[in-house]
Structure 1
Amino acid sequence: MQAIDSIQIEGKLSTLSISEPADLFESWLGNRSIASIGTNAGAPEIPFQGWRHFKEAFPPELIARAVRESDIRVATCLDPFGGSGTSALACQFLGIRPTTIEVNPYLSDLIEAKLSTYHLPALRGAFNRLIARVDDMEVSADLNAFKRNAPATFVEPGVDSKFIYKRAILKRLLQFRSAIDLVRDERLRRLFKVLLGSVAIPVSNVTVSGKGRRYRGGWRDRLTKTQDVDRLFSELVQGAEADLKLFGSRPVRDYSLLRGDARLLTAKSEPIDLVVFSPPYPNSADYTDVYNVELWTLGYLNSRASNAELRARTLSSHVQLQRVYAAPPNGSKLLTAVLAKLQEQRNELWHRDIPAMIGAYFADMRTILHSIYGRLSARGKVFMVVGESRYADVKIPTAPILSALSADLGFQVLSQEPFRSMRVAPQQGGRPGLAETLIVLRKPRT
C-alpha cells in the first residue's frame, strides 16, 4: 500500500463557490433527476453515499421536498430510523439541524462518520501511520477468539465446507481493525472503521441484499487475496477524502445522534419541526442479519448474547427472535380485520408468531408516532415511507392502517401517495403487488 500524499479532484466542483444551501444541495447531488421518491438509483455516485451502498435507502430529494412543502420554517428535523444517514446528511446541506436515531451500532457509526467535521491533513497523516503499522499487528489471539465466538460459517473450514472468509482474508481484516484501534482521534478512528466495513463484503464469499445473505456464484473458484483488502481500503479512504474536500463544509455541521431503540428514544428527541423517515417494513426481514457480516467483522458483535441483545432492541418487524410481543393497538378497524384473517390462515403461515408480530409492529409504530406528536411543532409535518407485506395471501395494508392510527393520535392525514409496487415473495409467485407509499401527516395547530 502507498501512503496518501494528496487527493486530486478534477472538474468544476473543485472550485466550489456556493453560498445558498439549496445550491449546495443541488451541487452535492450533481443536479440529477429521479423518476420518483421510490428510487435511489445513482446513489453510490453521490459524495458520502458511496461509503456504503444501500439499495433500500430513499433519495435525498425526499428531504428537500419535505422541507419545501412544510407549512412552517424548518430548523430541526428528525429521522427515528437513521439507516445510512440520508436524512441527516441532506439536512446539513439544507441548513437544518438533524436529529437521528439508529439502533444498529455499525450504522450509527456510519451516520456519525458522514456528519462529522474533519481536518484533512490530520486524516491523511493518520492513514499513513495506520498503513505503516498494519503489517506488524499481531492478531493470532483475536483470530482464535473470533473463530470461537462468531458463527461457525464465518471462517474456513466453515460448516459443510461453506464459509464467508478465507482465513488469510479475515486475518488481514483483523490486522486493519487492530491498527485502526490505535488511531488517537475518535472521529478518524470511526471513519476508518466504517470504511473497513465497506471492504468486508467485497472480499468475502457472499453478497448481501435487503433480503439477506447468499453465496456468490462460483465463490469456491474466486481468487481473493489479502492485497485486495489493502487496495479496497485505500481506495475508500481516498474517495472519502475527496468527498470531504468538496463538501466537508456544510451550512450546518451540528447534529444529534441518539444510539438505541427508537421506541424509547423518540420521546427524548429535542423539539422538531419536521420528521422524515422510513421504518422497517413488516416483511419479516431481520436487518440485524443483513448487516451481520460487518457487525461481527468490525467487533460490534462478539457473542451470541450481544447478537440477541441487539435484535431485541429492533422493531417488531420479524419473527427471527423469540420475544414477548406487544398487544395490537386500538384505532384501526382495518388492522383488527387483518389480524382476524391471519388467525384464520394460521395453519398456512410459515411461522406461528406472524399474527402476533404484525400486531406488535403496529403497536411499536403507534408508540413512535405518539412520541413524534409530542415533540413536533404545531403545523409540523411527518413524511413517512412505508411498505406492505403479505402472508398466506393475506395482505398487510400498512399505509391505511398507519394513517388510521395517526389520525387516532390527533394527526391530520394529508395524503397517502403510492409510488412503487414491490414484488411478493417467490413462494407466492414473485409478482408485483405490494405497494410502497408516502404518508404525509400534519400536527394541527394547538
Structure 2
Amino acid sequence: MNESSDYKYSDYTQTYNSIMKFNKNKVIPIHQWYPFVEGYSREFIQSIIEELPYKPTHCLDPFSGSGTTAVELQYLGIICTSFEVNPFMHNLSVTKMRTDYTLKSFQKSYNIIKSSLEQPLDNIDSIVPIPEYKSIVEKKGLKKWIFNKDTMNGILDIKYAISKIRDKKYRNLFNIALASILLEVSNVYRNGKCLSYKHRTKNNYKEYNRTAVHDLYISRINNVFLPDIKNIEKYKAINGKIKSNYKYCILGDFREKIQEIEDDSIDLVITSPPYLNSRDYTDTYMIELWMLDYISSYDELKKLRKNTFRSHVQVKWGNLETLDIEELKDCINKLSKFKDIFWNKDLLEMIKGYFLDMDFLFFNLSKKMKKDSLIYFNVANSAYYGIEIKVDKIVAKIAENNGFKIHEIREARKIKPSSQQKEYIPYLLEVVIVMSKM
C-alpha cells in the first residue's frame, strides 16, 4: 500500500469554476433538452481533449448521467462507452446521443401529438394510468401533492399522444420533451438532496391547468427541440454522417457491466461519480421515473436503489469492512464518536461502501485501460458532524493501490457545505484528479 500523501495540488479554480457547471449547457444544442442539475459542461470535455498528449480512440464514462461526455466526444469522432443505472438517465443519454433524426419524421410525430392534444379525452385517467406513487396527484386525504388534478390530466394527455407514435426513437425523444417540463408544472422543486414543495405565495409559483400544460409542452418542442433537429440535419448535409455513441451507452450497474469491456481497450476515462453527500438520485429524479413509467412499483424502486453506487443511506448496506487507508480509517474513528446522534444509523456503512465501490472501480479500470492512458476524475470532499472526509486523497490512494500514478489534483471549485457544517468547515473542495495507468 502506498502511504504517500504528497500529492500535487494545482489551482484550477479560474479555469474550471464556470466550465464545471452544467448550467452552461442549458442553452447549448442537444445538451439543453433536459435541465440536468448535476454534472459538468461540454467545455470541460473540450478542455481535456485539447490538453491530451495523444489522440484517444475509445473513452469510458462509468457514470453517464445525462450523457455529456459521450455526446460531446461523438462530435469529435471518439467512441465512448458509458454506463448508467438510472433508466431515465440512460434513456436521456441515448436520446441525446442519437444523430439519425430527420426533420421529416420529427414533423410527422409532432403532427400526431398536436392533433391528439387538440381533442383531449374526458376520461383520460381511465385510459392512461396514474402512477402508484402516494403523493403524485391531488386527492382526498392528502395535505400536499406533486401535481394538481388538472395538471395531471394535461400530462396524461401528452403521454397518450406520445403513445400513438410508432417509431420508438421518436417516442423517446418526445418523452424527453415531456420530462423537461414535469418539474416546472409540478408543486415541487429540487432542493439539494430531495424534492421540496414550492411556496404558493412566492412569485415563482404558477399553477398550470390542463391547456397550459399542453401549451408549455408544444412551446418546448418548437423552441428547443425543433431547432436542434434542424441543426442536426443541416450538419449532416454539410459534413456527412455523424458518429453516434448511443449503441455504446449501456443500461445497468457498472459493477456488473464493466466486465463486458475488453481488457486493455480504453485509452481515456472522463467521469464524475456520485459525490459522498448521501444523495439518492432515485429520489432526486423520482417524478421522471414514475411519471414516464421507468418504474411502476415500490419494489422496482427498491431494486433500483440497491443497484446504485453506495453514496446514500436509502438502502441498508449491512456491516462492511473499512479499506486499509489511513485517511479513511481516521475519518471513521472520528465519526464513530457521534454514532449516538447520527441522523441515520447507517451513515458509517454508506461511507465504507462508497470507498469499497471506488476500489472495485479502479481495480477494474486497471484491467480495462491501456498503459499510460489518462483518467480525469471529478469528485468532491464531504463533511459530517464537523469531520471533513477528504475524498480526493482517499480516492487518490485507492487509485495508487490499483496501479495508477497520480499526476495532480486540480482544485476546481470551493463548494459551500451544508448549514450544519458551516461553523466547522468554511468550504469543501471539488477537484479533478488527473492520473494514468502505470
Tell me how far apart the structure 1 counterparts of residues 418 and 152 of structure 2 sit (CA, whole Å). Answer: 34
With 377-386 and 57-66 compared, the bigger mean Cα shift is at 57-66
Q: Return 5+ residue gaps in structure 2 as ranges.
A: 1-14
Q: Which residue of 1 aligns with 2:311?
A: 317
SS in 2 for 1:164: coil
Q: Which residue of 2 aligns with 1:282?
A: 276
Q: Which residue of 2 aligns with 1:130?
A: 113
TM-aligned CA distance change 1:202 to 1:36, over 3 Å: closer
Give the one of 353, 359, 367 matched to 1:366.
359
TM-aligned CA distance change 1:34 to 1:414, over 3 Å: closer
SS in 1 for 2:130: helix
Tell me how far apart the structure 2 counterparts of residues 39 and 56 of structure 1 sit (CA, whole Å). Answer: 8
Tell me how far apart the structure 2 counterparts of residues 120 and 105 of structure 1 sit (CA, whole Å). Answer: 27
1:266 and 2:258 matched: yes
The structural deviation recorded for 1:81 is 0.8
Higher-RCO chain (CA-CA 8 Å, sequence separation at least 6): 2
Give the one of 35, 38, 44 matched to 1:62.
44
Q: Is the 8 A contact 2:381 2:390 kept in 1?
A: yes
TM-aligned CA distance change 1:279 to 1:351, over 3 Å: same
State the AA in 2 paired with 1:360: G
Q: Is the 8 A contact 1:37 1:59 kept in 2?
A: yes
SS in 2 for 1:428: coil
1:89-120 deviation digits (Å, cap 9, x = unpaired): 11012211121111111111111111112011
The structural deviation recorded for 1:166 is 0.8
Q: Which residue of 2 aligns with 1:21?
A: none
Q: Which residue of 2 aligns with 1:380?
A: 373
Q: Which residue of 2 aligns with 1:3?
A: none
State the AA in 2 paired with 1:242: P
- For residues 18-167 of structure 1, the aligned pairs below 5 Å read 35-116=17-98, 117-134=100-117, 135-136=119-120, 139-141=124-126, 145-146=129-130, 149-151=132-134, 153-157=135-139, 160-167=142-149
- Between the aligned residues of both structures, percent identity stands at 29
Tell me how far apart the structure 2 counterparts of residues 91 and 159 of structure 1 sit (CA, whole Å). Answer: 50
Tell me how far apart the structure 2 counterparts of residues 66 and 110 of structure 1 sit (CA, whole Å). Answer: 24
Give the one of 161, 165, 176 matched to 1:194.
176
The structural deviation recorded for 1:71 is 3.6
TM-aligned CA distance change 1:176 to 1:36, over 3 Å: closer
Q: Which residue of 1 aligns with 2:226?
A: 241
1:325-352 deviation digits (Å, cap 9, x = unpaired): 643333x221121112122221232111
SS in 2 for 1:74: coil
Give the one of 324, 328, 344 matched to 1:351.
344
SS in 1 for 2:321: coil
State the AA in 2 paired with 1:420: R
Tell me how far apart the structure 2 counterparts of residues 209 and 197 of structure 1 sit (CA, whole Å). Answer: 18
SS in 1 for 2:172: helix
Give the one of 295, 310, 330 matched to 1:337.
330
Tell me how far apart the structure 2 counterparts of residues 34 and 365 of structure 1 sit (CA, whole Å). Answer: 24
SS in 1 for 2:420: helix
Q: Is the 8 A contact 1:267 1:372 kept in 2?
A: no
Q: Which residue of 1 aligns with 2:243?
A: 252
Tell me how far apart the structure 2 counterparts of residues 356 and 397 of structure 1 sit (CA, whole Å). Answer: 17
Tell me how far apart the structure 2 counterparts of residues 306 and 421 of structure 1 sit (CA, whole Å). Answer: 37
Q: Is the 8 A contact 1:325 1:360 kept in 2?
A: no
Tell me how far apart the structure 2 counterparts of residues 113 and 182 of structure 1 sit (CA, whole Å). Answer: 18
SS in 2 for 1:395: strand
Tell me how far apart the structure 2 counterparts of residues 407 and 322 of structure 1 sit (CA, whole Å). Answer: 29
1:335-374 deviation digits (Å, cap 9, x = unpaired): 1211121222212321111111101000011111222221
Q: Is the 8 A contact 1:195 1:237 kept in 2?
A: yes
The structural deviation recorded for 1:88 is 0.8
Tell me how far apart the structure 1 counterparts of residues 407 and 126 of structure 2 sit (CA, whole Å). Answer: 58
With 402-411 and 37-46 compared, the bigger mean Cα shift is at 37-46
Q: Is the 8 A contact 1:72 1:273 kept in 2?
A: no
State the AA in 1 paired with 2:407: L
Give the one of 418, 423, 429 matched to 1:425.
418
Tell me how far apart the structure 1 counterparts of residues 212 and 404 of structure 2 sit (CA, whole Å). Answer: 52
1:125-145 deviation digits (Å, cap 9, x = unpaired): 1110122124355533356x5
SS in 1 for 2:408: strand
Size of the alignment, in residue pairs?
A: 408
Q: Is the 8 A contact 1:101 1:262 kept in 2?
A: yes
Tell me how far apart the structure 1 counterparts of residues 221 and 108 of structure 2 sit (CA, whole Å). Answer: 12
The structural deviation recorded for 1:266 is 2.4
Q: Is the 8 A contact 1:419 1:437 kept in 2?
A: yes
Question: Please, what is the CA RMSD of the aligned residues?
Answer: 2.1
State the AA in 2 paired with 1:389: S
Tell me how far apart the structure 1 counterparts of residues 97 and 124 of structure 2 sit (CA, whole Å). Answer: 31
State the AA in 1 paired with 2:417: V
State the AA in 2 paired with 1:124: Q
State the AA in 2 paired with 1:63: I
TM-score by length of 2: 0.87
